[in-house]
Structure 1
């Protein structure tokens, strides 16, 4: 009886021991599976931290303006009698462009000239007679005054006639013609615009803090949307003598040559001014930076095995950033040259997360990216 009970107790213990061992083994397997599921490798894209020449710049938008530019008009009214230009013509200074009808004025001028000639004859006669004391000095003086008055009236009438002729005040390119033959023009009506295109200004505004970084003669480069990839060099030619009290900005004017006539007044331009000396800094794509209120950071990929460049472990590193340029940003502190930095997929990472690197779809990052037509 006792022997049977012992056997039963041993059998029961074996069963419970087996069950306990099985449960322990099962729990271990589940724990390992859950651990693997909680921290699986994440696919990311990376870029190497490279050292490059970094030139600090001040950037602003500006408006192009001709050194000489005007909307041409006449200061008198009349009917268009002669037109000697077409839209888009290139003209020289003093070239006649348009004339108003001036028959009445020309006839009046002829009458005034005749009167002036008569006074000139009278003065000559009086001067000859005075030599023999035939007339008084008062007569000579009166005839002289009459001649000067007549000559002044002739000059005045000639000026009126000249005002009915439009001439190019400087050399340049004409715009679109706004008048036709036979049209009646009132004084001040714009006939055509004239712009000297060989040299242009670009006017821009900078915050007052930039005043200690810029000076007259400093080099600038300008780009416009009309000519992607092309830069137009120039120099700062003037800095306004006061700061706008409302915006606290100061107006800057740069001058640049335009020998090919590609640029036109009124264009919008992006202006860059190099300041300070060139530095060698580590640069990264801006997508690599994780911005947080408590500090900016990046994820650096460490490779436990030197031969395995496709797999690694993410390590978060707080950094100090500098200026940005296009798609890239300068790194002042926190990243060493040559380190592999995650540029896509950071949202899935934390310290120690295993990663798999896939750079098959990494875009190109440029200092001066441009919109390209697709």
Structure 2
């Protein structure tokens, strides 16, 4: 009996000794430290930009129509072929224009003869007047006749130039180097003087494209002519193209509260095409020494209010911290207040930790 009492007493003494100490690696309440991953608050140079979307279009596009009423006699190009500036695309019936030109040339010849005769008559009248053989009135009339003949010559020459221009209009030419994107005529078609409807040809120059994008009103004050615009297109994944802001619409769109901005994009190899959808950013500036944290460190984020909350490791404890945030660059967020460079923010395991809990760092990024 005494032996049993001694065994029980010894066991109670052992349990009492163990109960007075927490197990190694646990808190006094028996909860072990939470395993977390952290990253330091870092300072970096940040590119300020405005996100935009838009559509590419050729900068130079010409819809060609006839300037005279005639019939198409010859079509010299097909669609989608390159052409050079001044290259003939089509010829119109020119018989009427040629006849008008011949008449104009004959009229010029007559006017030149009349002007020459008037000049000779004036010279004779001046000699007669000098010898007292002609009245002043006769001399004045000779001068008037000379002036009228010269004016008639000028008018005839003007008519000749007009006839030459009309004959030249019977040939439809490319206004610049480019590609025939559309052909709307065939031999025998009648074309009207600057007629409406579809053009005879549409020529586009794809060597320089124009990207038209929309900028939110909240960011419109940051956009300036000359700023670079970097963008991508779905048709060429992984490629980043560059343009330059050339024009800014002076008025906002009342419905969308956005601003139209255009940028010129060099396209010497023809990789980009009109109609492509583009997504990119207008680079408006650069700042240095900007504090940043990973987006995964944010417990909450009020985007409109520019505030967020994170957990910071202070000693071996988690400390909740309210911060002010700014621009988002990739997977990192700018911190404008509430944190200092080098502080460790919890990036993984933070949603399982409460403020004041003990933590154990198992991985530190950015080291």
TM-score (norm 1): 0.65
Is residue 45–residue 286 contact of structure 2 (8 Å, CA) maintained in 1? no
For the aligned residue pairs, the C-alpha RMSD in angstroms reads 4.3
Which residue in the other structure is 2:228 paired with? 219
Pick closer, same or farther for the CA change 1:340–1:264 going to 2, 3 Å: same
Flag the 1:44–1:114 CA change in 2: closer, same or farther, 3 A.
Answer: farther
Secondary structure of the residue aligned to 2:106 is helix
Kept in 1: contact 2:297–2:311 (CA 8 A): no
Q: Which runs of 5+ in 1 are unaligned?
A: 1-39, 305-312, 360-374
Cα distance change, pair 278–73 in 1 and its aligned pair in 2 (3 A) = farther
In the alignment, does 2:334 pair up with 1:330? yes
1:68 paired with 2:78, answer no
1:47 deviates by 7.3
Going from structure 1 to structure 2, the CA distance change for 1:143 and 1:57 (only over 3 Å counts) comes to closer
Q: Is the 8 A contact 2:52 2:282 kept in 1?
A: yes
Separation in 1, partners of 2:275, 2:64: 17
- Structure 1, residues 196-242: CA drift from partner, whole Å, max 9, x if none? 33333333343454355343333332222222222222333344445
The question of whether the paired residues in 2 share the 8 Å contact of 1:45 and 1:357 is answered with yes
Matched, 1:89 2:99: no
- Provide the residue aligned with 2:5 in structure 1: none
Structure 2 runs not aligned, ≥5 long:
1-30, 129-137
Check if 1:342 corresponds to 2:348: yes
Take 1:58 and 1:278, find their aligned partners in 2: how far apart are those partners? Answer: 18
1:233-312 matches, within 5 Å, as 233-243=242-252, 249-269=258-278, 270-285=280-295, 289-291=299-301, 296-298=308-310
1:144 aligns with: 150
Alpha carbons of structure 1 residues 287 and 317: separation in structure 2 relative to 1, 3 Å: closer
Q: Deviations over 1:318-357 (max 9, x none)?
A: 44433224454334545965544138x94x7766899999
Q: Residues 239 and 123 from structure 1, CA distance in 2 versus in 1: closer, same or farther, beyond 3 angstroms?
A: same
CA distance in 2, matches of 1:222, 1:287: 29
| C-alpha distance in 2 between matches for 1:45 and 1:221 | 38
Give the 3 Å change call, closer, same or farther, for CA 204–278 of structure 1 in structure 2: farther
Q: Is residue 199 of structure 1 aligned with residue 208 of structure 2?
A: yes
Aligned length: 310
Q: Distance in 2 between matches of 1:141 and 1:229?
A: 74
Quick check: 2:215–2:261 contact (8 Å CA) kept in 1?
A: yes
User: Could you tell me which residue of structure 1 aligns to residue 178 of structure 2?
Assistant: 172
CA deviation map 1:148-167 (0-9, x unaligned): 33323222222222333222
Q: Say if 2:311 and 2:345, in contact at 8 Å, map to a contact too.
A: no
1:321 aligned to 2:325? Answer: yes
After superposition, the Cα gap between the structure-2 partners of 1:342 and 1:97, relative to the gap in structure 1 and judged at 3 Å, is same
Contact 1:320-1:331 at 8 Å conserved across structures: yes
- Label 1:192 to 1:46 Cα distance change in 2 as closer, same or farther (>3 A): farther
* Structure with larger RCO (C-alpha < 8 A, sep 6+): 2
Superposed CA deviations along residues 122-156 of structure 1, whole A, max 9, x for unmatched, are: 33334335444499625444443433333232222
Are the structure 2 counterparts of residues 163 and 323 from structure 1 closer, same or farther at C-alpha, using a change threshold of 3 Å? same
Give the Cα–Cα distance (whole angstroms) in 2 for the partners of residues 355 and 70 of structure 1.
Answer: 69
**Alignment deviations for residues 1-49 of structure 1 (CA, whole Å, 9 cap, x no partner):** xxxxxxxxxxxxxxxxxxxxxxxxxxxxxxxxxxxxxxx99x9996746
The structure that is strand-richer by fraction is 2
Equivalent position SS for 2:212: strand
Aligned match of 1:369: none
2:93 is equivalent to residue 101 of structure 1: yes
Match of 1:277, SS state, is strand
The answer as to whether partners of 1:94 and 1:169 remain within 8 angstroms in 2 is yes
- The 3-state SS of whatever aligns with 1:261 is coil
Q: What are the superposed Cα offsets for residues 159-211 of structure 1, whole Å, 9 maximum, x if unpaired?
A: 22233322222223331323222222332441232233333333334345435
| SS of corresponding position for 2:206 | coil
Is the CA contact (8 Å cut-off) linking 1:58 and 1:272 kept in structure 2? yes
The verdict on how the C-alpha distance between 1:243 and 1:260 changes in structure 2, with shifts beyond 3 A counting, is same
